[in-house]
A and B are shown apart, each in its own frame.
Chain A
C-alpha cells in the first residue's frame, strides 16, 4: 500500500488527518479515493499542488501510476525566477 502524506493546508478537509495508507494503482485512483474520503480534496489538489512519488516531483500527474509501497506527498507547484 502507498503511504500518502496529506498537505497541511488541506487538513481542514481531512479532519486533521496527516497521512494514510491507500491501495491504488494510479493517480486517478488516488484522487478518487481521497475525494471519497475527504470531499473537495481533488479540486483543491488539482488547483495548486504537484504530486511527489518517492521524491520525484510531478507537476501534472494525471497519467502517473502509483507503485506499491511508494511514498506520496503533495507539494505546492513551483516555478522559479
Chain B
C-alpha cells in the first residue's frame, strides 16, 4: 500500500499507525457487544412477526399465550401510544416518527413479511417462543407490490391509503405509492443532446441488499420503579436511540439513559430503532429487565436494507468525449414507509462531472418490503452504478481510454457541482491521475479477463459533536465522547488529542460514554466522526492548552500573555525573564491543586466545513464462460481522504467498502416469492463475499487537505462503497463483451446473458 501525500501538515503523531485501544478486546472476544449484557431477573423476549407481506389485522388474541408458565408480559400495537407525524432529523430522504412507531410494532395493518405484530417476555427463551406460537392473529390478506414498476402503476394496490405524493406543485387528487418526487436541472438538455455526436441510453437495476453487519440487533432494557429507564444496545447513535425511543413511547428523554455497547458493524443500518421501545414496554409491564436479540433471519426480514433501484440514464457527448447532456430517471424503493435515499441519489448522480445541461428526476417508491435504512453513502452506489456504467460504455464507443474520458469531464476546484455550490479543494482529478499511473492499470490481461474503472463520490457531513478531556495528575488524559467506535475512532481521537497536547498516544484513553455522561453527539455515520467529533476533541485540547498557559503563568507569577505553548510545553516568550524550565503537561497537572484544581477541557460544536470525497476504483476480473462465475483478480481503491489521521483505518474503510461493493455487484440480493416472502434470509443463501473470494484490496490514499478542518480531514467511511458496483460491472462487461445493466452479476445471470448473446 502506498500513500501519495499531496499536502503534509507539521504533525508529530497524526499519520502514524498505533494499535487501536479496543483491538485486543475485540479480537480475543473480551469486548462486550449488544447481546453480552445480562441483569438479575432478566426476561427473554421474542417477536411474533407477520406471515403476510400485506394484510389487515382483524384481531389478536393473546389469552392462550399469557397462560404459558413463565410468560410475564405480551405487547401488541394497542399497547403503544399514537405517535404524531414528524420528520426524523439526520436521515436520508426523510423519515417520519409515526412511521417509525408503526414499523416497530404494527397497528391495523402489516406492510411486509416479518413486520412485528406482538412481542413476549418470559423467564426462558423456550417459554417466550411457545407463547409466540400461541398468539392468534386473524389477518385479511391484501395484494402486494414488490417492485418499482408495479408500485408506480396507476391501479397499484396502495400501502397507505392517505399517502399523497410530495414534491409536486399541488397536492395530487389521489393517494399513491410514490411518496416524493424531486427534480434537479441545469441548462437545456434537449439542445445538449442535439449537440451530441454519441448518445448512450440504458436502464440500470440494482437489487435490495443488506448491510450485512455481523452483529444482529440486540438490546437489554430496564424500566425502573422511578420510571427511569436504561437501555444497553448496539447502535451507531446512542442519542438517536434515546430520542427515537422516547418519541415512540411518548416519554421524556430525561427518563431514558442509553448505554452504547461495542458494535459489530452498522454501515448505516443501526441508525434507527427496532427493539428498544419494545424492550422498554415489556420491561414496564413485567417489572423486570428484558433482553431482545434478533436472529439473523429477523435481521434480514425485519431490519432495514438498502433500496433496490431502477435508473434510466441517457448521456450525450461529442466525438472528443466532451459531455453535452445527461438525463436520469431514478426510482428508489423505500420499503413499507416513505424515505428512500432518492434525494441524495439525485444530488450525486452527476456530481463527478461538469456537464452543461442535465436533468435528474427522482421517485421515492413504497413497496411491501422492510423499510429501507441507510447503507454507506445512501443512494450514491445505485446512482453512480448507472452513471459510471454509461461512462464506461461511452469510452468504448468513442474508443477512448476510460480514465482520459473521465479526466476530460472531471470536476475540480471551482467547478459548479451538479447539486449546486462550487467545489472547494477536491481530489477527483488527483485520484484519476493516480489511477492512470497505477501499475494495476497497466498490467496485461489474459483471455476472459476484463478491467473496470469507476468513480465514487460522497458529500460527507458535519453535524453536532461534543468532547471532554480530563487531565490526570500524572499528565495522562482521558477523552470522553459519544460516538460508538466502529472503524477505529478511539484511536483517531487519541491521536488528535495527543497531537495537540504534546503527549504520547499511549497516554490518552478514549471513553465512549452513555447519554448521561457524554455531551450530545449525533450518530456515528455520514463519515463525520473523525471530522466533526475530531474537531471537538481538537477544540477541547486547545481549551486545555489555554488553561495550561494560565496555570504556568500563575506558577511563574507572570502575565499569561508572557507565555506560549511550543512543542507540548509552556515556555516563556522571548525576552521574558523567567528562571524556570519549560513546563510540560505533566508538570502542570501535578501542581493543578495549587493553581485552581483539576484540568478539564471541553468543546461542543455543530461542525461545518465538511469536504466531499472522491474515489477511483480499478477492478480486474476473470469470467468463467462455462459457469458464469466471476473471479476478482485484483482490486485497487484510490481515494481522497483529506488528511489521513490513522492511515491503517482509512485503508480499512476503503477495503471494507470495496468488499461490500463487490458483494453488491456480484452476488447479493433479496429474493422474494410472489407473495413477498424473502426466500434467502440467511448467510448460506444470501451470499456476501468472504476472504477466500477476494484478492487483497490494494489501496492508495490521496491527501488533498480539506480547508474546513484544522487537520484537513474529509471523512472516509462512505465513499469507498460507491465506485465498486460499476467498477466490477464494467470489468465483467469488458471480460465478456456483454453490456449487462442489472445487478447482481451472479453466475446464473451471466450465463443467461452469454447464452442470449450466442443465440
Contacts and interface: CB of A to CB of B under 8 A. Distances in A.
Interface of A: 5, 8-9, 12, 47-48, 52, 54-60, 71, 73-81
A11 B183 CA distance: 11
Nearest to A53: B421
B423 interface: yes
A58 B169 CA distance: 26
B422 A78 contact: no
A57 B89 CA distance: 16
Contacts of A8: 183-185
Given A81-B271, A81-B526, A75 B374 contact: no
A80 B714 CA distance: 14
15 contacts: A8-B185, A9-B167, A55-B421, A55-B422, A57-B608, A59-B606, A71-B422, A74-B420, A77-B90, A78-B459, A78-B526, A81-B92, A81-B378, A81-B525, A81-B526
A81 B381 CA distance: 12
Interface of B: 87, 89-92, 94, 167, 169-170, 182-185, 211, 267-269, 271, 343-344, 347, 373-378, 419-424, 458-463, 523, 525-528, 606, 608-610, 708, 717-718
A60 B464 CA distance: 10
Contact of B344 (A5, A71, A74, A78): A78
Contact of A75 (B419, B460, B606): B419
Contacts of B708: 56
Given A9-B183, A57-B610, A80-B92, A52 B420 contact: yes
B423 A79 contact: no
Q: Which residue among A73, A74, A81 has the maximum number of chain B CB atoms within 10 Å of its CB?
A: A81
A54 to B, nearest CB: 7
A56 to B, nearest CB: 6
A71 B606 CA distance: 21
A75 B87 contact: no
A80 B377 contact: yes
Nearest to B425: A55
A71 B421 contact: yes
A71 B525 CA distance: 28
Given A8-B183, A9-B167, A56-B609, A79 B92 contact: yes
Contacts of B211: 81
Contacts of A76: 343-344, 347
Given A55-B424, A71-B422, 4 more contacts: A5-B420, A9-B182, A80-B525, A81-B271
Contacts of A59: 461-463, 606, 608
A81 B424 contact: no
A47 B87 contact: yes
A75 B608 contact: no
Contact of B378 (A54, A58, A80): A80
Nearest to A57: B610
A80 B526 contact: yes
A78 B457 CA distance: 14
B671 to A, nearest CB: 23
Contacts of A81: 92, 211, 267-269, 271, 373-378, 525-526, 718
Nearest to A13: B169
Given A47-B87, A56-B608, A80 B268 contact: yes
A19 to B, nearest CB: 11
Contacts of B375: 81
A58 B344 CA distance: 16
A78 B87 contact: no
Contacts of B89: 77
Contacts of B528: 80
Contacts of A56: 608-609, 708
A56 B417 CA distance: 13
B525 A54 contact: no
